[in-house]
């Protein structure tokens, strides 16, 4: 009890509260910029945390994260461009609603439901964390390895760009993680004689390169400027839903929240997976499924409540096992490590106040975001509609400095440039930078636990000696092969024939058959390889 | 069809990368003392092997697609929509940005952070097409560089290189 009281007392300091507000503002504004994914927005704050106390860092990052999940909805609804991947599912209905003149209501719904969902999620995760931390004692290297494998298979399935491409992206990330000194034997690996590479690739320059610079390079390659937004048309403010409207949406909100929490807890799947999955499920259970994709408020509610509920969920595996749920959680973990706080049992015994502060900060950030969220819509849109030269140059200045600040090495900027080229190629050819990032983040964990487990073992039978590990492996196999099995279903066969049809008649015929089964866009089609 | 050829090219590059990686990881020195049964080299080798397998699958798929497209007149299929048609407009501009970044790394410790960053941002403005209002871009770049220096250098106490002119 005293830990909780202590955490609260630290939170209610003026400077800490100021950081909360700053984080929320930064989160909302920055996530409106395409290319500024949640992980990058958080990564740019890392240099700031060097000079802050652990509690202050946690509050700043938690507020930013919450702000970013909401902020991404603003351009998603208004200009059909998600501010961050987590808001991608919000564009499906959000923009249609805007065109129907309901933009204000959509923004209001996104705001309020995000708040409700995150609040519920924090409560649920708090309740879950304590039994989980006790279960943690059962987790040895084999179990953690199994959890990491499960996380990786989820990414491959949710990759959204076909399993082959997602798999290649993931492997790339895992390979990047191997560069540098091997912690077990001390040998330098794949460094090609370079002293700089002996440190390995830091997560911050790689993240910044893959996402922010990758986006910048893609923008550079296109001739068209971002469509100038007519500010008069966008002259709207968020209209908060009435109690009656809230009540009408409660089933959708519940579905979104539940899926957000579950997907968040699963290592490897983050905001984007949560919001798409929730959108899909809400449509399945909706009384008006045909409206989804054409302007269904339920679609927006489902997507936004899921990506907000996802945050506390992502934090759970990160804090208990040190296995981050997605890239954003990985950056968060990085911030904790900078402060010398290791996730896992140490966190629960020695730094429990950090945990409570984090949970309270997430709760407290929501009303702050509610207030700011309405005020910041116009500035956010104004920022996005500047000529892209100014926006991208600004981003470049910020990220280059941030990358340098993180490691104090000019070489890191070269990594940013190199990874930028990779990120550009990934966007250009439909690969998944998210999968690569997760590979990088989980890579070291995966290998070190595997090798530790092997040291303890005597033969392959060891891999099935633990019920926890076996369950995880089984789940991993299931996740990996479920989409493949799904392809064998007749309705999917027909849909794939529609995609492969090469003459006009075949297309029309196949689409007529397919449209009997599948309205609008569905997530299942993502699982089919398009390569 | 051109798009498929580009993807085929990418698949070849990825396959070559995997082969190169297999050789590179075979060269990893395995010490005499056996710390763990796997050793430092096996894991990267496994990863590169998987990478090779997947890139071969990707390669074969592109070949099949190319053959199919050559046979039948190319009609836009649903699968093509995934790759952004707008994206392949210019390769020169992104390359210019990368070159600017490399140039930046080479000089910023010599001429100092502020000047180097201002130059970098200005160059990027030009690459992105600012022509008439170049003077505005120059001012914005300088202001941004100074702001970043003050924010990171003074507020966050990140050591940023100074040039021969004290800033």
Q: What is the pLDDT of residues B41-50, one digit of tens each?
A: 888 999 999 9
Q: How far apart are CA A10 and CA B62, in angstroms?
A: 58
The single residue listed with the structure tokens 């740019």 is A44
- 3-state class of A488 per DSSP? coil
Whether residue A226 lies within 8 A of chain B, CB to CB, comes out as no
Contact yes or no for A499 and B84 at CB 8 A: no
- Residue A405: closest CA among chain B residues belongs to which residue? B158
* Both tokens assigned to A255: 């579905």
Mean pLDDT of A483-490: 64
CB contacts, 8 Å: B35 with chain A: 184-185, 455
Q: What is the pLDDT of residues A164-219, one digit of tens each?
A: 888 899 999 999 999 988 877 778 888 887 788 888 888 888 888 888 898 889 88
Residue A438: pLDDT above 90? no
Interface of A with B in 417-436 (CB under 8 A): 417, 420-421, 424-425, 427-430
Nearest-CB residue to B94 (from A182, A402, A424): A424
Q: How far apart are CA A514 and CA A507, in angstroms?
A: 10
Other CB atoms within 10 Å distance of the CB of residue A99:
11
Q: Would residue B105 be called left, alpha or beta, if left means φ above 0 and alpha means ψ between -120 and 50 degrees? A: alpha
Q: Would residue A387 be called left, alpha or beta, if left means φ above 0 and alpha means ψ between -120 and 50 degrees? A: beta
- 3-state class of A477 per DSSP? helix
Nearest-CB residue to B97 (from A48, A185, A216): A216
Mean pLDDT is lowest, of A161-165, A259-263, A355-359, A518-522, for: A518-522
Asked if the interface predicted TM-score (ipTM) of this complex is over 0.90, the answer is no
Contact yes or no for B124 and A396 at CB 8 A: yes
Q: How far is B34 from chain A (nearest CA, A)?
A: 8
Whether residue A22 lies within 8 A of chain B, CB to CB, comes out as no
Q: What is the pLDDT of residues A86-134, one digit of tens each?
A: 888 888 888 888 888 888 888 888 888 888 999 999 899 888 887 877 7
């Amino acid at each position: 009890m005293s830990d909780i009281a202590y955490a609260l007392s630290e939170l209610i300091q003026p400077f800490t509260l100021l950081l909360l507000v700053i984080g929320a503002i930064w989160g909302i504004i920055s996530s409106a910029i395409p290319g500024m994914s949640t992980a990058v927005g958080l990564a740019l704050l890392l240099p700031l945390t060097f000079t802050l106390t652990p509690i202050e860092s946690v509050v700043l990052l938690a507020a930013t994260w919450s702000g970013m999940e909401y902020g991404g909805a603003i351009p998603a609804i208004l200009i059909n461009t998600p501010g961050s991947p987590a808001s991608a599912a919000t564009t499906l209905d959000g923009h249609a609603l805007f065109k129907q003149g309901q933009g204000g209501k959509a923004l209001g719904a996104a705001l309020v439901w995000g708040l409700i969902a995150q609040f519920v999620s924090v409560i649920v995760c708090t309740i879950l964390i304590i039994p989980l931390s006790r279960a943690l004692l059962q987790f040895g290297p084999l179990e953690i390895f199994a959890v990491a494998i499960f996380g990786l298979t989820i990414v491959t399935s949710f990759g959204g760009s076909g399993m082959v491409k997602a798999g290649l992206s993931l492997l790339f990330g895992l390979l990047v993680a191997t560069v540098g000194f091997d912690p077990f034997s001390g040998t330098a690996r794949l460094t090609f004689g370079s002293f700089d590479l002996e440190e390995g690739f830091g997560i911050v320059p790689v993240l910044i390169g893959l996402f922010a610079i990758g986006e910048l390079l893609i923008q550079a390659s296109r001739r068209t400027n971002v469509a100038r937004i007519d500010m008069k048309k966008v002259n709207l403010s968020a209209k908060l839903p009435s109690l009656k409207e809230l009540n009408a949406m409660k089933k959708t909100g519940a579905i979104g929240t539940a899926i957000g929490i579950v997907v968040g807890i699963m290592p490897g799947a983050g905001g984007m997976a949560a919001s798409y999955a929730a959108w899909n499920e809400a449509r399945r259970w909706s009384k008006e499924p045909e409206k989804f994709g054409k302007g269904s408020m339920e679609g927006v509610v489902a997507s936004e409540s899921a990506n907000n509920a996802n945050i506390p969920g992502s934090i759970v595996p990160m804090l208990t096992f040190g296995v981050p749920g997605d890239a954003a959680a990985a950056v968060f973990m990085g911030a904790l490590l900078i402060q010398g706080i290791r996730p896992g049992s140490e966190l629960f015994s020695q730094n429990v106040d950090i945990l409570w502060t984090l949970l309270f900060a997430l709760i407290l950030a929501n009303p702050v975001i509610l207030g700011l969220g309405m005020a910041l819509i116009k500035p956010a849109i104004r920022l996005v509609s500047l000529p892209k030269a100014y926006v991208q140059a600004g981003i470049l200045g910020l990220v280059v400095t941030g990358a340098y600040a993180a490691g104090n090495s000019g070489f890191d900027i070269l990594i940013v440039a190199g990874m930028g080229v990779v990120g550009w190629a990934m966007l250009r050819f439909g690969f998944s930078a998210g999968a690569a990032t997760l590979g990088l983040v989980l890579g070291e964990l995966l290998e070190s636990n595997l090798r530790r487990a092997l040291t303890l073992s005597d033969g392959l039978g060891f891999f099935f000696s633990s019920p926890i590990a076996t369950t995880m492996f089984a789940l991993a196999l299931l996740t990996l092969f479920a989409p493949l099995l799904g392809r064998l279903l007749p309705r999917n066969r027909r849909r794939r024939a529609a995609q492969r049809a090469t003459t006009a008649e075949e297309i029309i015929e196949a689409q007529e058959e397919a449209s009997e089964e599948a309205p609008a866009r569905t997530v299942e089609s993502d699982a089919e390889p398009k390569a | 069809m051109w798009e498929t050829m580009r993807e085929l090219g990418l698949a070849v590059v990825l396959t070559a990368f995997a082969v190169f990686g297999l050789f590179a990881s075979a060269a990893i020195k395995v010490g005499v003392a056996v710390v763990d049964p796997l050793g430092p080299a096996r894991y990267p080798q496994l990863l590169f092997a998987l990478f090779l397998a997947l890139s071969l699958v990707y390669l074969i798929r592109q070949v099949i697609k190319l053959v199919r497209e050559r046979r039948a007149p190319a009609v836009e299929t649903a699968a093509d929509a995934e790759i952004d048609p707008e994206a392949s407009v210019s390769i020169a501009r992104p390359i210019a940005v990368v070159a600017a970044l490399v140039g930046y790394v080479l000089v910023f410790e010599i001429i100092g952070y502020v000047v180097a960053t201002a130059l970098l941002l200005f160059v990027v403005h030009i690459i992105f097409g600012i022509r008439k209002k170049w003077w505005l871009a120059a001012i914005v770049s300088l202001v941004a560089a100074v702001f970043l220096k003050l924010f990171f250098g003074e507020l966050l106490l990140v050591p940023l290189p100074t040039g021969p002119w004290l800033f």
